[in-house]
Chain A
């Protein structure tokens, strides 16, 4: 699941959570202009696809901008 509110996505039980940009534009940033926006969005989407190949034992966070941050779920 790609989400701007990523810890909430994890508490809902999504196994692979990819940190998105903002609620109003989860996979991009229009303020960057068309080219950079596209590249930024592609980075998020590619990371989402790559995580499908990664085995996880529970809700896990992936951050497309900062390498892999893998955190345990904050589910409560």
Chain B
């Protein structure tokens, strides 16, 4: 399975009479892109706005950030299986991407009504968060959409995500007939048998337990979000978007999944420093002891059947999902598979352990820091000149301890806000160091 990934760097975006990419500049035909979005009768309002690094602009609510990718050769469609797209197995041929940009999905639609999973992410393009999140270094094309409020939760989620994918496809199509200025070929070529065999166990949240639905919108494998046994994916499938965001944290977006530096480094050093065997996607948020232990055992067994001697493990969630993740590590180690765990840490207030269940087998851990911004005393982001999205920001109880602590409130988005609640860097993008 061979995939050529052609990159078209985007350094500036503007609106213009036709959608085209030329020498690092993307022009977007706003009316044409919006006409495609409005073809879906579920969409009531739709607009496109631009945000560039360094601008005094705040985007709220941010549901997802998508890197435009399109298949120009080979079977299937990028971001397969989502919102009714083709489920043909991807990962072969040639894919074009617009690098250095993201399509931002901006809408008031929440994930689902149960479980307290609120859309919380907002993005500032300047100020204290410019260094914390990768998106502020991107040129952002924001799809601001609202669906028919009479539709079900899942229909509204499907409608707004489809709208963002439609915008992503619209701009990616501009590269279809062009020669990419940057190309990289990805293939799991046969390599020196002496190299250590390594797999990547990639934990992603499932919304099934908390939503009570098999089809609630969330992090997806070929569009599926339900709790499933471990999936073995060829890394080229990841490059074509077979695994996508978003989950509720700012680092669990489709863009961060597609640009996961840990994954890309594992793949690029295949045949040089190790033999990369592929990705095992581990679904998390199983809700009984039996299920958690079984998925851990089966994931480790799958790694062993792939021939793994080592595994790198990440996850994108919090709370009880730690159990199946850390027990997967334990199960791997008991089968002789060495593991390294990349994770953010919990609140250490009053000497609490920063990992829910510290097991002795998890003895090689890379911390990407501690997540609670209010405890870290991250400064409150100040007023901004422009808002993309909603002009009021709901602050949920517990997310604004300190300045707005105690009760839910709705504050002007353009004014001073509490910092985003969480900072969970799932894949090692950031530059924060851990708490010792």
Chain A residues proximal to chain B, CB less than 8 Å: 4-8, 11, 19, 21-24, 76
Contacts and interface: CB of A to CB of B under 8 A. Distances in A.
B288 A76 contact: no
9 contacts: A4-B287, A5-B289, A8-B289, A8-B357, A22-B209, A22-B287, A23-B287, A23-B320, A24-B287
A23 B209 contact: yes
Contact of A5 (B209, B320, B360): B320
Given A4-B288, A24-B210, 18 more contacts: A5-B288, A5-B289, A5-B292, A5-B323, A6-B289, A7-B289, A8-B323, A8-B357, A22-B209, A22-B287, A22-B288, A23-B287, A23-B288, A23-B320, A24-B212, A76-B358, A76-B359, A76-B360
Contacts of A19: 289
Contacts of A23: 209, 287-288, 320
- How big is the B interface, by class? 10 to 19
Interface in B307-339: 320, 323
Contacts of A11: 357
A24 to B, nearest CB: 6
A19 B289 CA distance: 9
A22 to B, nearest CB: 4
B323 A24 contact: no
A5 B359 CA distance: 15
A4 B292 CA distance: 10
Nearest to B286: A23
Contacts, number: 31
Contacts of B288: 4-5, 21-23
Contacts of B358: 76
Contacts of A6: 289
A21 B287 CA distance: 9
Contacts of B287: 4, 22-24
A73 to B, nearest CB: 13
Interface in B251-310: 287-289, 292
A38 to B, nearest CB: 20
Nearest to A25: B287
A5 B289 CA distance: 5
Contacts of B323: 5, 8
A8 B355 CA distance: 12
Interface string B117-151: 00000000000000000000000000000000000
A11 B330 CA distance: 15
Q: Which 5 A-B pairs have the closest CB atoms?
A: A23-B287, A22-B287, A4-B288, A5-B289, A22-B288
Q: Output the residue of B212, B288, B359 with the most chain A CB within 10 A.
A: B288
Nearest to B330: A76
Interface string B350-361: 000000111110
Nearest to A3: B289
B233 to A, nearest CB: 27
A56 B200 CA distance: 43
